[in-house]
A = this chain, B = another copy of it.
């Protein structure tokens, strides 16, 4: 069954109750077959979440029961407010690692962190700041996931081998684990390896269940970082009252939910109930769970996140995207937040570079035709001035230029002012700077700026020469304005 593309966070664009509480959309049509599917999926997810929650609590440096405290509130809240039937909220390996950095094993700090992060998430949702996540590119997410899965996975090796007093810091941990590998306790190691084998066998059995589709949509991968849907914020705020540590969307369990064929977010009710039952009757037994077994659960949970194919893919598809990937990946071993910040900054520079330095094609014909291959915004003003100066005014003798604006769909005042200055410079050198293929919004801005030097606007096609004389795109302007005296009284002092 397809997971579907989730809808954007509703708070901003809609005022209706139905959009705030999506349960109102599906509950009136709820049926018995749906209940059956939701029951199976909910219990399956529940059986996954209980051992995972116990194990993740260890990653967060908290007693095992805190994992379960964190696992039921999301199920109930998401049933009311969730827009996608598949997504499950709860403790995750990555969030647990992040929690461990700040709470130093103190449950009170973890619960405070849950409340505060809930408030921030809710505020971000209500202030429509979810769009900020759009600026975290896929290579950044991949670099982050890869580094964090390695950190989490390796942090469990010590538990698997029964080693004690290994430092937290990744590189020290690697060094100390290998240095003291001789101290491995045979019992722990055997139990750990057997648990991994058992989990792999179960996984192999699972892979015989026919998959509905091979590719997981991008948004599922975004579960790691997803803080929109106000639902997560409310889950964390309410969760803080039942001693939860911060939760978010779980990729692994969301995939289990989708593959088991969940029908509505009501599946979460059964997951939540199972967690509550475990809490009621199993808590006294948690003391006896071997750490090596929990380590095996965590290693098997994070192993699929260790996807090294992404190197090859980025190399083949877009080598430049390896920069934010590596910036994130490497710095995440120092501090994960620095890793993400570095990745966002590097992708931001890659994003802004073509804005500040747009590609330009120059056709040498009767006049020079200069064509920016993308839009022109204010950071490109000085650059485009320099380029036009270089190709036309610094030439001997100076040459007239037609600026082909076919790829410009908007223009700001800084660019207009820069071009106006340059047009005057052209006139002083006895040559002209004119414009062709203007789209409506750009044409209107230039008209408003009284940008009407002699022959400022050219019939489209006149510019590029013979090869596309027939072209007559209805979306761009081909008016030849009457030649009037240059009157830059607005732009010039």
Contacts and interface: CB of A to CB of B under 8 A. Distances in A.
Interface of A: 2, 5, 7-8, 131, 134-135, 137-139, 213-219, 304, 307, 309, 312-314, 316-318, 320-321, 347, 350-352, 354-356, 359, 373-375, 377-383, 385-386, 389, 393, 407, 409-414, 416-418, 420-422, 424-425, 428, 439, 445, 448-449, 467-468, 470-474, 488, 490-493
A285 B421 CA distance: 44
A223 to B, nearest CB: 13
A420 B221 CA distance: 14
Contact of A425 (B5, B139, B449): B5
A414 B138 contact: yes
B137 A414 contact: yes
A466 B342 CA distance: 48
A318 B416 contact: yes
B215 A424 contact: yes
A2 B428 contact: yes
A134 B382 contact: yes
B309 A490 contact: yes
Nearest to A411: B318
B139 A414 contact: yes
A421 B316 contact: no
Q: 7 smallest A-B Cβ distances: which pairs?
A: A215-B492, A138-B414, A137-B378, A134-B379, A373-B409, A321-B413, A217-B421
A7 B352 CA distance: 22
Nearest to A409: B373
Contact of A215 (B380, B410, B420, B474): B420
A5 B218 contact: no
Contacts of A449: 313, 316-317
A364 to B, nearest CB: 16
A389 B5 contact: yes
Given A7-B386, A213-B424, A215-B492, 5 more contacts: A138-B381, A316-B448, A317-B449, A318-B413, A351-B379
Which of A134, A347, A491 gathers the greatest number of chain B CB atoms within 10 Å?
A: A134
Contacts of A375: 354, 374-375
B138 A417 contact: yes
A135 B492 CA distance: 22
Given A318-B445, A385-B5, A428-B2, A378 B416 contact: no
A313 B215 contact: no
A385 to B, nearest CB: 6
A360 to B, nearest CB: 11
Given A215-B421, A321-B412, A316 B378 contact: no
Contacts of A131: 356, 379
A455 B433 CA distance: 43
Contacts of A350: 412
B467 A468 contact: no
A12 B259 CA distance: 55
Nearest to A473: B468
A456 B28 CA distance: 40
B215 A2 contact: no
Contacts of A493: 214-216, 304, 307
A384 to B, nearest CB: 11
A138 B413 contact: yes
B378 A448 contact: no
A473 B464 CA distance: 11
A417 B218 contact: yes
A490 B488 CA distance: 56
A424 B3 CA distance: 12
A377 B351 contact: yes
Nearest to A353: B131
B378 A490 contact: no
Contacts of A378: 134-135, 137-138, 347, 351
Contacts of A352: 135, 351
A6 to B, nearest CB: 9
Contacts of A137: 378-379, 412-414
A422 B3 CA distance: 12
A393 B318 CA distance: 29
7 contacts: A8-B386, A137-B414, A214-B493, A316-B490, A320-B412, A374-B374, A470-B471
Contact of A412 (B318, B412, B418, B490): B318
Contacts of A410: 354
Which of A351, A382, A439 gathers the greatest number of chain B CB atoms within 10 Å?
A: A382
A445 B317 contact: yes
